[in-house]
């Protein structure tokens, strides 16, 4: 096994510089081109369907449309040709190294393109579908890492493992047939590209070679996937050890599981992207090594098309221009995605956000800087807080009209000046360690959270619209229009905010769901009592182009159920529990339990 892996790396190393330069540019350029095209296609599909949010059920209905199948077929063809050109370049690199022929990246790229044109004819039509299936089947470990999730595992358990015997037998037969076809034709691309035969002849020649060396070929494919799996597992083990040690050293065990699952989620995304980029070059290197080892390739007439020196400098400049533009565009996409997920309107790419209700109010006094600081420390996405005006019109953070419950002073917020309220103790009621906590102003909170978390600012019903004016003014002062949302039970408050600026999102708070409220103007989302949220209501709100926030949810079962329903934002007193619950959905139960054991949770 190790010798074969060593041979694969030896082939890559010999052609390393050309392959590295090509792969870097090719993948970056492809991402730069196809990323906006994918977004455009999704937007066009949604516009044609008259939908503003694609639920899983709606996606299934779309796939029943013949036009969708045409689009998918076109996507498959483009993907296959993208992979075929990549494999043509790799085949050229390996063959030229075998011939000890030196060539530049541009010369190999140009020659590969010319060679690839020979493959595009009616006799090679089956090649498109064969290589699409082959790329997926050969890279079974990488494919598994991309599609495995709680939903797919549950579906497999329900419909296959616990399903009727005929389903199991049918699936087993299909797998055997597909892998037999793929394995028998595993060398056909090398033969097709390098030896110039059509697909049918190449497949027959490949099958003849495989029959003579079936077991070694099969074992190489199995060992290749096991090696990839071993690398992934080793990487996870190292990351897990580093995270466990880091959390212990930083004395953050109380939220260790949340940190671990949060980091693991981002690492999982990174690994999936990396595997997606590496699948073709690594697997094709392994296949090429077997092709040269097990087959007896006839004299290969592979001649490089040389680029004249007077054109070489120009083409090199074009290459660097493409590389720089690709890096710039991809950097722009990454930054833009961090600000707003362009695929947020698609259920399968949806990510539920977490809002700390009045800060981390389960561990610190509500609506105080201590609660807000802890919420940021707990990696919450949003902090929910309540704003009222003092008698001298300063927006301060307080939920109740009366100050009595949290400060012990029997007076209303609107009856005292800001300087008087600053003298009150808003922490002692919660615990002695919080004695001296002040009632913060909204401006103080905005300064603190900027760049750390987003705010969900609730305006109290019954207040004058002047409250909305003051809050919007402060948000604009600190340029936090994209970092704050404003909510209220009072629709007039929200309308006032929209009159002042359209840059701040507003949400209408509902205790119960009734009537046709989905189409309300001047509302970007609905903040609803979690008890009244059904899947049908969530889907209806999404299809109206609006988001759904659920309040106030403090147990793991409810959090998981709401996440499964597609709720966009969960408002909770315990953001650590919420993050653990949401991120554990797509994480092995063994890893979750191990994290809880290590951190004594």
Domain boundaries, given as residue ranges, for the chain: 2-349, 353-598
The pLDDT of residue 508: 93
The pLDDT of residue 408: 92
Mean pLDDT of successive 10-residue stretches along the chain, which has 601 residues: 53 65 87 85 70 64 73 82 86 82 81 79 76 84 70 70 81 90 90 82 91 90 86 83 73 65 77 81 86 75 69 75 88 76 68 92 94 91 95 93 93 93 93 93 95 93 84 94 92 91 90 72 88 86 85 91 90 89 72 62 54
Best CA proximity match to 288, nearest among 199, 224, 211: 224
The pLDDT of residue 140: 81
Fold exhibited by the domain 353-598: TIM Barrel (3.20.20)
Give the residue numbers annotated as catalytic, written as ranges.
357, 399
Q: What is the CA radius of gyration of the chain?
A: 30
The pLDDT of residue 519: 72
Which DSSP symbol is given to 486?
Answer: E
Structure tokens at 32: 């730069």
Residue 446, helix vs strand vs coil: helix
Residue 572, helix vs strand vs coil: strand
Q: Say if strands 382-389 and 395-397 run parallel, antiparallel, or are unpaired.
A: antiparallel
Which DSSP symbol is given to 297?
Answer: P
Structure tokens at 87: 């494999």
Best CA proximity match to 186, nearest among 287, 275, 258: 287
The pLDDT of residue 316: 76
């Amino acid at each position: 096994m190790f010798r074969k892996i060593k041979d694969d790396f030896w082939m890559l190393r010999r052609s390393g510089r050309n392959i590295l330069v090509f792969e870097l540019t090719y993948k970056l350029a492809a991402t730069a081109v196809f990323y906006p095209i994918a977004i455009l296609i999704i937007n066009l599909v949604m516009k044609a369907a008259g939908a503003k949010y694609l639920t899983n059920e709606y996606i299934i209905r779309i796939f029943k449309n013949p036009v969708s199948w045409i689009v998918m077929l076109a996507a498959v063809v483009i993907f296959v040709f993208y992979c075929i050109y990549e494999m043509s370049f790799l085949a050229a690199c390996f063959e030229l190294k075998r011939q000890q022929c030196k060539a530049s990246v541009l010369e190999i790229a140009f020659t590969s393109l010319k060679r690839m044109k020979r493959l595009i004819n009616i006799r090679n039509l089956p090649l498109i579908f064969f290589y699409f299936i082959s790329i997926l089947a050969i890279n079974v470990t990488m494919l598994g890492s991309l599609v495995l999730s709680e939903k797919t595992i549950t579906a497999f358990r329900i419909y296959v493992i616990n399903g009727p015997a005929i389903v199991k037998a049918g699936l087993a037969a299909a797998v055997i047939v597909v892998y037999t076809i793929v394995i028998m034709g595993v060398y056909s691309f090398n033969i097709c590209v390098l030896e110039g035969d059509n697909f049918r002849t190449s497949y027959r020649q490949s099958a003849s070679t495989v029959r003579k060396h079936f077991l070694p070929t099969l074992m190489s494919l199995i060992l290749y996937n096991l090696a990839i799996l071993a690398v992934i597992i080793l990487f996870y083990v190292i990351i897990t050890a580093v995270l466990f040690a880091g959390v212990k050293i930083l004395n953050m065990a109380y939220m260790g599981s949340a940190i671990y699952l949060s980091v693991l989620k981002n690492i999982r995304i990174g690994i999936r992207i990396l595997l997606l980029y590496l699948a073709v070059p690594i697997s094709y290197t392994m296949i090429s090594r077997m092709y040269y080892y097990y087959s007896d390739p006839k004299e290969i007439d592979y001649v490089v098309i040389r680029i004249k020196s007077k054109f070489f400098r120009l083409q090199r400049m074009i290459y660097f221009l493409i590389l720089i533009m690709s890096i710039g565009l991809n950097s722009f996409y990454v930054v833009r995605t961090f600000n707003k997920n362009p695929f947020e309107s698609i259920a399968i790419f949806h990510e539920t956000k977490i809002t700390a209700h009045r800060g981390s109010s389960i561990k610190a006094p509500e609506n105080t800087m201590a609660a807000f600081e802890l919420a940021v420390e707990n990696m919450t996405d949003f902090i929910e807080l309540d704003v009222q005006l003092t008698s001298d019109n300063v927006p301060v953070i307080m939920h109740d009209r009366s100050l009595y419950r949290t400060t012990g002073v029997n007076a209303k917020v609107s009856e005292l000046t800001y300087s008087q309220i600053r003298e009150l103790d808003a922490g002692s009621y919660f615990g002695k360690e919080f004695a001296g906590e002040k009632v913060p102003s909204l401006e103080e909170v905005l300064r603190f959270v900027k760049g750390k978390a987003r705010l969900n600012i609730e305006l109290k019903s019954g207040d004058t619209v002047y409250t909305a004016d003051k809050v919007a003014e402060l948000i604009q002062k600190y340029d936090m229009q994209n970092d704050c949302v404003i909510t209220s039970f009072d629709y007039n408050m929200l309308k006032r905010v929209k009159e002042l600026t359209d840059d701040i999102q507003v949400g209408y708070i509902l205790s119960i769901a009734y009537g046709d409220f989905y189409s309300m103007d001047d509302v970007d989302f609905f903040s609803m009592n979690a008890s009244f949220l059904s899947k049908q209501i969530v889907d209806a709100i999404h299809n109206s182009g609006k988001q759904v926030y659920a309040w106030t949810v403090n147990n793991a079962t409810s959090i998981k159920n709401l996440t499964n329903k597609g709720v966009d934002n969960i408002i909770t007193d315990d953001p650590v529990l919420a993050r653990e619950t949401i991120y554990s959905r797509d994480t092995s139960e063994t890893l979750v339990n191990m994290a809880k054991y290590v951190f004594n949770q």
